[in-house]
Structures are given as C-alpha cells and as structure tokens.
Amino acid sequence: MRRELRRAARIAGFGALTGAMLPGFVVRETLASPGQRRCIRERWVAFWSASLLRIFGVTVLRDGANHPRGAGRLVVANHRSTADILVLLRAFGGRIVSRADLARWPLVGPAARAVGTVFVERGDAMSGATAVRVIRTLLTEGETIIVFPEGTTFDNDDVRPFHGGAFVAALHSRADIVPVGLAYASGSGAAFVDESFPAHLARMAGARPSRVAMCIGAPIPVGEQARASRLRDQAHRDVQRLVATARRTVDG
C-alpha cells in the first residue's frame, strides 16, 4: 500500500509540475529577446530538473568541480537511467542529445522539444549526420551539449564503446570535453533497460528514495592536432575511471 501511494503521489507531482511549468516557459521564451532566451531556458531547466529529482527521492552525491564555462563544452557520461538526464541538466544546464522516440514520451516529450533537445534517430545515418552538424553549431555558439556516447542505456558499470559523432563536432568547434561518471546505489533499480517509459516511470515512482554519485573529471582540451577518435577513446577511459570512483562513493 505504501509503495502504491508513493507511486501515485510522485506521478501526480511529475505531471502537475511539468504541466504547470511548461506553458509559462514557452510563453516567456517566445516573448524574450534572442539574448535573453538562453538564460530563461537555463533557469527553467535547472528548477525543473531539481524539482523532479526531489519528487522522485533521488539524492545526488557530487564529486568534482563544475568547471567555469568559457566557450562551448561537450559533457559526456555513461547512461543508466532516465534520471541521468535530470542529474546532468541540473549540474550543467545546456541541451541534451537524445534518441528520437523521447519526443513522443508523455509530458517529457513536449518539455524536451521546448528546451531544444537534439534528437537522433537510432540507426539512421542521415539523422546522425544532421545531429553532428547541429551539435557543432551549438558548441560554436557557446552552448553546453550533454551526450551519452554509448547510444543507449545499460544496467551495470561497464562503459560500452562510444560512438564518435559528438567528438567530431567537438573537434571542429574546439569545445572542451567534460567527462562524467554516474553510479546509482546498488539495489536502487534505476536502470532503464528493456521496458517502456510508462513502465519505467511507474517503477521508479514506487521505489524508495535512492542515491546517485556523479563524478566530474578534468576537461579534455581539443588540441590543434587532435583526432576525433583519440578524443573519443580518451573520454571513454576517463568516464570508465570516473564510474569506478562514483561506485565507491555511492556504495562506500
């Protein structure tokens, strides 16, 4: 009974918060000058993400500094749960690169579209190439772009091989690459694998409060002679190391 009440309260809170905040954000951003829109989006995203983490009882244990923004930066992390999106948006702001079907998820889809999420259709080379061009443009304009280079979610601490497209964009825009490792407390059941979004939402809504460790590494500078494949491999090594640190943090 307690689990069912918790599930109902959290799902209702998720719907009420997003449904109440989204129309106001869209109106404010539409009426704002181009120079104000990024600031309005960043404030909205930070508040929305932090509020949803509180509603779902997710506590973030943070290790490492959020390095000052200069030019654009590419934030790369392992991907285990839908909560990853909230954790990273609250910490870094910016825009997420996401699989295209997220645009069709209830409530999350409209919010993702409104804040400028970059959508990529899995297995579609043209969609991938278009996304790389968009990421490059946004990085050149000074945006923060958050990407999960594994391409999908997995259920353990092994970081799968990274796709290279975002690193090509970072190379050509000369954006710093910020590696991040995420680990959820053992037994939290946070992994989003082999289930629909509504099923995942219902399961997470009924779960007990949980913790996630987020370890932020030193930025990887893009040198004049760097190659995208080298940047990808360095980022993969750094993220794997940071995941190990995050695991010790959250379970230690």
Report whether pLDDT(224) > 70: no
Query: Quick one: pLDDT at residue 225?
Result: 60
For residues 220 and 175, is the Cβ–Cβ distance under 8 A?
A: no
Select the more confidently predicted residue: 239 or 128. Answer: 239
Which amino acid, residue 194?
D
Angle at the Cα of 137 (from 115 to 146), degrees rounded to 5? 50
For residues 122 and 148, is the Cβ–Cβ distance under 8 A?
A: no
Query: Quick one: pLDDT at residue 55?
Result: 94
Helix or strand or coil: residue 193?
A: coil
Each domain of the chain, given as residue ranges in start order, spans 2-251
Q: Which fold has domain 2-251?
A: Glycerol-3-phosphate (1)-acyltransferase (3.40.1130)
Q: With bands split at pLDDT 50, 70 and 90, how would you rate the model's confidence at 124?
A: confident
Q: Give the span between the Cα atoms of 170 and 200, in whole angstroms.
A: 32
Report whether pLDDT(70) > 70: no
Q: Give the span between the Cα atoms of 42 and 134, in whole angstroms.
A: 19
